[in-house]
């Protein structure tokens, strides 16, 4: 099977526990929101369709095409899934794909799966769909161009966030890894963008009913536009800043008290209520308290939901 691991799937051991947990929390929040949204807005029939679509994304990742010099571009699919299925369904589909890749093929870790789902599923859906939503009722050419641009930015943003996660975990030096990751993914993202556009154009030509542009159940609210635009602007602004001048980012971070050093990774879980890689500052203590509070709220929330469910049954 010509299944090749993509450089975005972070394995276990490369992220520290604090970074993994933070991204798990964000991912769990977004995915449960997606579950409740899709349960409400889509019929029961949508679930098998989403399953087969997830298998499609997985299978489509095998379609690689030669670029030059032995490298080949291939397809991540997050943006296409979000545009065709709607943003919430897109997130669920990508969650399933990343989950299966980690479980079955050990492509990406289990403890860091939260971060992987965030990078490849949530970020791509928010950026790809958010930008596309902006031009949803425009002409075909504009829509396709924006879809392609969204796919490229989403890939770059995923690479950027993955580099930042690795850096915060003390696994890499930002000034080495960020330019490398962004450089590679500028190419991969180009392939992603072109395939997304070509696939969308093909689907629109042959089965316009599938895209179903006016289906309100699929259409995300205007909030997607805001989120998509803001996050892609952030990614566009941070990337050149960080890769052109990584010391700059590190300096900003340390000026803000954000890190004693990028490489003093947290060896302990919040020792003395300070986050190790943030150093001993007031901000660090506040952040540690916040993380603790979020974890607690999460546990209480889950417990409460379970208890209620048991009452019902």
Partner 1 sequence: MHVDIVDQYHFKNSWIHELDPRVKVLITVLFILSNAILPDGSWPAFALSWLLLLVVNDQSGLGLGFTLKRSVVALPFALVAVSALFSPHGSPLAVWDLGFITLIPTDFGLIRFVSILIRSWLSVQIAILLVATTQFPDLLHALEHLRLPRTLTTIIAFLFRYLFVLTNEVFRILRAREARSAGLPGVNGGGTLSWRIKTTGSMAGQLFLRSYERSDRIYQAMISRGYTGHIRTLNPHQMVRLDWFILVAAIFLLLIIQFVGWVR
Task: DSSP letter for 10, please.
Answer: P
Contact 217, 97 (CB under 8 A): no
Q: What does the alpha-carbon distance between residue 87 and residue 217 come to, in Å, rounded to a whole number?
A: 11
Comparing CB distances to partner 1, the nearer of 148 and 220 is 148
DSSP conformation class of 252: H
Does 145 contact partner 1 by CB under 8 A? no
Query: Which of 71, 106, 138, 215 touches partner 1 by CB under 8 A?
Result: 106
Q: Does 124 bind partner 1 (CB under 8 A)?
A: no
Residue 221 sits at the vertex; the CA angle it makes with 218 and 223, to the nearest 5 degrees, is 140
Shortest separation between residue 188's beta carbon and partner 1, angstroms: 13
> Binding pattern to partner 1, positions 4-33, x when CB under 8 A?
-x-x-xxxxxxxxx--x----------xx-
Backbone conformation region of residue 232, classed left if phi is above 0, alpha if psi is from -120 to 50, else beta: alpha
- Window of 100-108, 212-220, 240-248, 292-300 that interacts with partner 1 by CB under 8 A: 100-108
Q: How far apart are CA 110 and CA 187, in angstroms?
A: 28
141 binds partner 1 (CB under 8 A): no
Cβ at position 254, least distance to partner 1 in Å: 12
| Interface with partner 1 in residues 56-85 (CB under 8 A) | 56, 58-60, 62-68, 73, 75, 80, 84
Cα 211 from Cα 260, distance rounded (Å):
50
Interstrand relation of 71-73 and 65-68 (parallel, antiparallel or unpaired): antiparallel
CA distance linking residue 164 with residue 71, whole number of Å = 25
Of residues 45 and 282, the one with the C-beta less far from partner 1: 45
**Which range of residues in 43-51, 216-224, 231-239, 282-290 is near partner 1 by CB under 8 A?**
43-51
Contact 131, 32 (CB under 8 A): no
Adjacent-strand bridge partners of 73 = 65
Q: Which is nearer to partner 1, 76 or 157 (CB)?
A: 76
Should residue 304 be labelled a site residue for partner 1 when binding is judged by CB under 8 A?
Answer: no
CB of 110 to partner 1, least distance (A): 6
Q: Determine if 102 is a binding residue for partner 1 (CB under 8 A).
A: yes
């Amino acid at each position: 099977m010509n299944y090749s691991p993509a450089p975005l799937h972070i394995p276990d051991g490369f992220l520290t526990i604090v970074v993994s947990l933070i991204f798990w929390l964000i991912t769990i929040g977004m995915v449960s929101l997606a579950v409740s949204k899709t349960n409400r807005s889509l019929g029961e029939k949508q679930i098998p369709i989403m399953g087969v679509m997830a298998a499609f994304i997985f299978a489509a990742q095998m379609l690689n095409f030669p670029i030059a010099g032995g490298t080949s571009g291939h397809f991540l699919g997050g943006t296409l899934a979000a545009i065709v299925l709607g943003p919430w369904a897109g997130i669920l589909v990508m969650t399933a794909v990343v989950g299966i890749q980690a479980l079955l093929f050990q492509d990406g870790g289990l403890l860091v799966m939260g971060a992987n789902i965030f990078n490849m599923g949530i970020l791509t859906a928010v950026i790809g769909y958010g930008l596309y939503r902006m031009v949803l009722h425009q002409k075909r050419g504009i829509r396709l161009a924006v879809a392609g641009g969204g796919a490229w930015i989403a890939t770059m943003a995923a690479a950027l966030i993955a580099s930042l996660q690795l850096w915060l975990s003390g696994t890499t030096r930002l000034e080495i890894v960020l330019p490398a990751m962004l450089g590679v993914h500028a190419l991969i993202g180009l392939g992603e963008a072109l395939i997304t556009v070509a696939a969308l154009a093909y689907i629109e030509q042959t089965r316009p009913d599938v895209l179903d542009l006016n289906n309100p159940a699929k259409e995300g609210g205007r909030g997607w536009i805001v989120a998509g635009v803001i996050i892609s602007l952030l990614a566009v602004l941070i990337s050149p800043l960080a890769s052109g001048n990584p010391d700059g980012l590190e300096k900003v971070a340390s000026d803000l008290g954000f890190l004693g050093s990028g490489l003093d990774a947290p060896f302990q879980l919040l020792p003395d209520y300070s986050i190790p890689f943030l150093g001993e500052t007031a901000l660090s203590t506040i952040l540690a308290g916040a993380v603790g509070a979020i974890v607690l709220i999460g546990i209480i929330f889950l417990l409460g939901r379970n208890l209620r469910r048991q009452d019902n049954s």
